[in-house]
Amino acid sequence: MESSDVEAVERQLGRPPRGLRGVAHRCPCGNPDVVETAPRLADGSPFPTLYYLTCPKAASAIGTLESSGLMREMQARLATDDELAADYEAAHHDYVARRDKVAEEAGLEPLPRDMQSTGGMPKRVKCLHALVAHELAVPGANPFGREALDALPDWWSDGPCV
């Protein structure tokens, strides 16, 4: 990973990133907005968030969506729409498979099977930041990440976040 990307992520987060493996998606402004992280930190402790949203402008816009009640609406739909529930379950399995592959490539023990994937998957809608990060990193993988992404303004339009 290029040092300029590491520096940009550090400025975005306001701290050094943990478990950083690479850039999973770039904002249209050119900066990283999603990074891939290791499933375990250097000390071996679990770090289940494979795709981490780093852009503070995107995070702020997603926070506005979360406070609007969108997650409650999504959760209600999850309980009544079998096709959506199946797609969300598939997103969960995609996330876990990718995280397990990263662990294998890094020579790390995979996380326990009963550990969460991200964002509440597969039964809850808990964190749009994580679901959007998954969708940005793997387009077409996460139905709620896609919906949230489609509802966001162009957070990059007034210039880079850092």
SS3 141: coil
Residues in a beta bridge with 53: 34
Cα 129 from chain centre: 6
Residue 114 has pLDDT above 90, yes or no: no
pLDDT tens column, 38-75: 999 989 999 999 999 999 999 999 999 999 999 999 99
SS3 134: helix
- Mean pLDDT over all residues of the chain? 95
Q: What is the pLDDT of residue 79?
A: 94
Residue keyed to tokens 């493996």: 21
Instruction: Show me where the domains of the chain are located.
Output: 3-151
The pTM assigned to this predicted structure is 0.95
Q: What is the pLDDT of residue 55?
A: 97
- The span from the CA of 20 to the CA of 157, in Å, is 27
pLDDT band for 113, please (50, 70, 90 cuts): confident
DSSP-derived pairing of the beta strands 51-53 and 20-26: unpaired
pLDDT band for 81, please (50, 70, 90 cuts): very high
Using CA atoms of 46, 48, 54, 60 in order, give the dihedral in degrees to the nearest 10: -120
Residue 28 has pLDDT above 90, yes or no: yes
Q: What are phi and psi of 136, to 5 degrees?
A: -65, -40
